Structures are given as structure tokens and as C-alpha cells.
Amino acid sequence: MPQISQLMEVYGSQFFWLLIVIGIIYFGIARNMVPKISKTVDDRQKRISDDLAAAQAGQNKAEQIEADYRASIDDARADAVAKVSEARALATKKNEAAVKRADAAIGKKADEADLALKTAKSNALKEIEAVAAEAAQAIVKTVSGAKVTATDAKKAVKAAF
């Protein structure tokens, strides 16, 4: 193989051109490609940090909105509880007033009924005394044959009651 025998003769020049080509490639990449890649990486990093900042701001805003929502719900709940308490207190007052009116009416009717009962009892006792006096007169007349006056019979019946 003739190429192997010529290797030592061309070795120096090939090594020289290899270094030249590698140097050109290295400096070409360093001068042209690295700044573009660095700029892309920096832009990407800036965009990521801006997006993270925007996301954090959005999350903070959402948390504030949620806190405001919860506060408004709590206020509405407290207001509803207060209104229910007021309504309950008002209903209780109305019921107490109605119960007092009903108690007064029932008391008045009970007093009227008691008075009517006492009057009826008194009238019934008077009628019973009158009937008892007549019956006593009739019994005494029938049993003993003695005549008792109506006044004496009434006195005797009253004394017995």
C-alpha cells in the first residue's frame, strides 16, 4: 500500500490543516453560534421568570378574591343569622302577646263561668231547700199527722244543710 508509506511525508501537512480547520470551526462556533445560543437561553430564562412572576401574581390575586369571597359569605351568613334571630324574637313577642290575650280571655271566661256556676249552684240549692222543705212538711204530716208551717220546715232544712 503506497498510502501508508507516504503517511510520514504528509503527516505534518495534514496535522497542520487539521488544526486550521478545527480552529476555524471552533472560532466560527464561538463567534457566531454561542452568542445566538446564549441569547436564546437568556430569552427563555427571562420568559420563564416573567411567566412565573405572572403566575405568582395571578395566584395572589386569586387568593385575595377567594379571601374576599369567603369574607362576603361569612358576612352574609352572620347577617342571615341576625335576621333569623330578629324574626324569632319578633315571633316570640307576638306569640307571648297572643298567649297573654288568650290567657286574659280564658281567665275572663273562667271567671264568668265560675260566677254562672256559683249562681246556678245557689239557685239549685234554693230550689232543693224549697223542695226539701215541702217534702219535709209532707213527710211530717204523713208520718206524725202534725202540721208544720212552711217557715219551720225551711228553718229545719237550712239547719240540716
CA distance 45 to 39: 10
pLDDT (0 to 100) of residue 89 = 95
Which are the contacts of 125, defined by CB distance < 8 A and separation ≥ 6?
Answer: 161
Give pLDDT tens digits for 109-157.
999 999 999 999 888 888 888 888 888 878 887 888 777 777 777 777 7
Domain that holds residue 68: 2-160
> Which 3 state secondary structure label does DSSP give 1?
coil
pLDDT (0 to 100) of residue 3 = 67
Can you say how many angstroms the Cα of residue 76 is from the centroid of all Cα atoms in its chain? 10
**Would you give the end-to-end CA distance of the chain in angstroms?**
167
Half-sphere exposure of 93 (CA within 13 A, CB side): 5
Give pLDDT tens digits for 43-93.
999 999 999 999 999 999 999 999 999 999 999 999 999 999 999 999 999
Which are the contacts of 139, defined by CB distance < 8 A and separation ≥ 6?
Answer: none
What predicted TM-score, i.e. pTM, was given to this entire model? 0.44
The H-assigned helical ranges of the chain are 2-5, 7-28, 34-143, 150-160
pLDDT (0 to 100) of residue 94 = 93
Q: Report, as an integer, the average pLDDT of 33-51.
A: 94
pLDDT (0 to 100) of residue 2 = 63
User: Which of 127, 121, 159, 156 minimizes the C-alpha distance to 140?
Assistant: 156
Q: Which three cell numbers stand for residue 47?
A: 420568559
Report the domain count for the chain.
1
